[in-house]
């Protein structure tokens, strides 16, 4: 608790520093100029209502102009040119910040950024917000440089770490440099091929989830599959990585017509301990996303109450017994002289053998659970959504599953590898709905240069310590990279030799699991888990139909979307993002069981 309170007090102090920097410095300079001038004294009202506000605008406009000139000189020195800039209509580009924040709350998540790129005919832009640079890119070449070829020049950075530490703490997703390398080296062995190819754990929890689904389907009852998949993935991840049985699939599910709109999905009216944990977990992620959009002003909106404190207290309280049990088991084993065998132990057992710091252990659990629960649940949710809205793809996929596995045989590593259309369906779902639709890095202490993304194209100058936002969701829907049908669900594109050849030549056009040294360690586990579950699902059910009438009020896309071009005009669910992509209010559907299954 002390560590958490200390961080929050640091946020408050940073707000004071920002206020002094933005307002006090120009006002003090104006006051000094007045004191040294020979003009008659001015009234306090004139100073506060006119002179000081004008001095702030003049100071920052001048400073921004000098920064621009400096960047032009540095860009010329490095043989690059400045990135095209986007200016807002309001002072300091505050209207851009408002647009981004409203887009998160009211619109189609990250899709709302696309208009800026289309209007300017660019794939990388520099937004001017509060007289600072914010680079946003959907350029495959520039994303490649940030994530891979120029990896050493970019990091999470202090801004990203500060905002995310309320949820991620000191975990693997919120650290840079040697600390990040240490976390990654500890975690990597637990995602080896031998471990992720063992379907015993995945199969056990798949069977439980399908029994729940079969029971509901036998009564033609709609189910929020987003909630179901989140329970399945967290149960599987908890046992696979921590040796812990959460049994969330045995807890009450949200009911059609009775559930509420939760922070991300649906919410059961009478939530149990697990339901409270999930809602707090989701609420913390939503709050973290709001902080990104409102930075630095979120410190002002949370000046007297930390919006992250209550939900994260619930999350930590839920995980406390898991951590304590692992510590107790380790202490008991140590007393008996039992040695840890890394080939046999879980990730949590390995962590406990190396530290007894509960904060460190909880942070790591939160990081891994977000990766293990939310990303694969998002993949399954939007794959089922696309199958429900494309019955011809559902039929084709089911035919392949039955041809390879029959009506009952569980899939194996080899049979999953043989089901090419299944992999194509999963890839196409990842392309249209990447679980992490937007991500962030920061340029290091020295300026960097984005190399030309196309032959003959310009090199772009990246100022030092500049935040960089890259948007896989928009990258994956670029028509110049994916064709005129880029916004259509077409798994066949992954089986067409010419199209596959283009992807093989430039794999950076498809980055659902990140890329480079920080590529997702659980990528293959997610593929295996999702593929196994989908194969078993199609063995048991012969049709999927969306059930929008079962969703909580406010879940469905606004009627105005129907007049919009592209996917926005045809969506039957409301895609939003809070770190991870999700369907607002959940994805409600009915499943038709196979006769006799």
| Feature table: binding site | 520
Taking the C-alpha atoms of residue 173 and residue 161, their distance in angstroms, rounded to an integer, is 9
Q: Report yes or no: 402 and 539 within 8 Å, Cβ to Cβ.
A: yes
User: How many angstroms from the chain centroid is the CA of residue 564?
Assistant: 25
> How far apart are alpha carbons 393 and 219 in whole angstroms?
26
Instruction: Look up residue 127 and give its two tokens.
Output: 């937004």
Q: For residues 386 and 376, what is the distance between their CA atoms, to the nearest angstrom? A: 15
Q: Which residues are annotated as a binding site for heme?
A: 520
What the block records as the tokens of 14 is 């940073």
550 in Cβ contact with 222 (< 8 Å): yes
**Residue 39 in tokens:** 């003009």
Nearest CA to 531 among 219, 299, 77, 203?
203
Supply the angle between the helices 273-294 and 309-335 in degrees, to the nearest 10. 120
What is the torsional sign of CA 240, 244, 249, 253?
negative
Residue 554: CA count within 13 A, CB half-sphere: 11
Residue 552 CB partners (closer than 8 Å, separation 6+):
259, 260, 261, 266, 267, 585, 586
* CA–CA dist 247, 264 (Å, integer): 21
Taking a C-beta distance cutoff of 8 angstroms, is the pair 571, 562 a contact? no
d(CA 406, CA 399): 9
- What number of residues does the chain have? 597
Please tell me what DSSP assigns to residue 478. -
Retrieve residue 22's tokens: 């933005």
CA 184 to chain centre: 19
Here the tokens at position 72 are 């032009």
> By CB neighbour count within 10 A (0-12 exposed, 13-18 middle, 19+ buried), where does 425 fall?
buried
If DSSP codes are grouped into helix, strand and coil, which group holds residue 324? Answer: helix
Could you give the CA distance from residue 532 to residue 206 in angstroms, rounded to a whole number?
8
Measured distance CA(379)–CA(394) in Å, rounded: 16
Question: Rounded to whole angstroms, how far apart are CA atoms 582 and 104?
Answer: 12
Q: Which two tokens stand for residue 232?
A: 């399945």
Beta bridge partners of 582: 576
Burial of 84 (0-12, 13-18, 19+ CB in 10 A): middle
Q: Which helix (H) or strand (E) holds 442?
A: strand 439-443
Burial of 12 (0-12, 13-18, 19+ CB in 10 A): middle
Give me the residues paired with residue 591 across strands. 544
Contact 541, 390 (CB under 8 A): no
The whole-angstrom separation of Cα 251 and Cα 509 is: 40
């Amino acid at each position: 608790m002390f560590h958490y309170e200390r961080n929050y007090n640091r946020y408050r102090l940073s707000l004071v520093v920002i206020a002094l920097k933005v307002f006090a410095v120009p006002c003090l300079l104006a006051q000094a100029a007045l004191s040294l001038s020979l003009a008659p004294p001015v009234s306090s009202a004139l100073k506060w209502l006119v002179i000081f506000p004008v001095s702030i605008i003049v100071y920052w406009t001048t400073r921004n102009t000098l920064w621009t000139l400096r960047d032009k000189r540095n860009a010329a020195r490095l043989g690059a040119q400045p990135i095209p800039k986007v200016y807002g209509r309001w002072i300091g580009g505050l209207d851009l910040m408002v647009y981004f924040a409203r887009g998160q709350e009211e619109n189609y998540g990250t899709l709302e950024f696309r208009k800026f790129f289309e209007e300017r005919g660019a794939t990388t832009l520099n937004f001017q917000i509060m007289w600072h640079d914010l680079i946003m890119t959907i350029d495959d070449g520039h994303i490649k440089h940030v994530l891979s070829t120029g990896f050493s020049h970019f990091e999470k950075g202090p801004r990203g770490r500060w905002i995310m530490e309320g949820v991620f703490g000191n975990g693997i997703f919120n650290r840079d440099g040697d600390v990040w390398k240490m976390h990654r080296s500890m975690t990597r062995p637990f995602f080896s091929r031998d471990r992720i190819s063992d379907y015993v754990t995945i199969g056990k929890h798949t069977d439980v989830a399908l029994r729940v689904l079969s029971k509901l389907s036998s009564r033609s009852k709609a189910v929020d599959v987003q909630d179901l998949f989140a329970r399945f993935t967290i149960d599987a991840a908890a046992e696979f990585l921590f040796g812990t049985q959460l049994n969330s699939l045995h807890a009450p599910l949200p009911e059609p017509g009775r559930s509420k709109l939760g922070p991300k999905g649906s919410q059961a009216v009478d939530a149990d301990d697990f339901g409270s944990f999930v809602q707090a977990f989701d609420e913390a992620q939503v709050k973290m996303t709001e902080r990104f959009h409102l930075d630095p002003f979120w410190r002002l909106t949370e000046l007297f109450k930390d919006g992250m404190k209550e939900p994260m207290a619930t999350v930590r309280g839920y995980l406390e017994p898991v951590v304590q049990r692992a510590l107790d088991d380790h202490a008991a084993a140590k007393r008996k002289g039992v040695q840890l065998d890394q080939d046999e132990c879980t990730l949590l057992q390995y962590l406990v053998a190396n530290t007894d710091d509960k904060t460190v252990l909880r942070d790591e659990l939160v990081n891994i659970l977000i990766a293990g629960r939310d990303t694969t649940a998002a993949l399954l949710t939007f794959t089922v959504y696309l199958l429900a809205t494309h019955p011809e793809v559902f039929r084709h996929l089911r035919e392949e599953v039955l041809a390879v596995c029959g009506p009952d045989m569980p899939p194996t590593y080899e049979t999953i590898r043989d089901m090419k259309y299944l992999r194509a369906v999963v890839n196409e779902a990842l392309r249209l709905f990447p679980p992490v639709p937007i991500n962030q890095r920061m340029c290091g202490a020295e300026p960097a240069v984005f190399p030309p993304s196309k032959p003959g194209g310009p090199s772009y100058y990246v100022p030092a310590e500049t935040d960089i936002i890259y948007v896989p969701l928009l990258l994956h829907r670029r028509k110049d990279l994916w064709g005129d049908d880029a916004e259509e669900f077409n798994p066949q594109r992954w089986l067409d030799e010419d199209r596959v050849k283009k992807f093989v030549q430039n794999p950076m056009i498809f980055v659902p699991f990140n890329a480079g040294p920080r590529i997702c360690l659980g990528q293959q586990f997610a593929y295996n888990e999702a593929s196994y579950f989908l194969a078993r699902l199609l063995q048991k059910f012969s049709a999927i139909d969306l059930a929008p009438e079962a969703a909580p009020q406010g879940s469905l896309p606004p009627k105005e979307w129907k007049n919009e071009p592209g996917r926005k005009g045809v969506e039957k669910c409301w895609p939003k993002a809070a770190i991870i992509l999700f369907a607002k209010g959940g994805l409600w559907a009915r499943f038709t069981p196979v006769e006799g299954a």
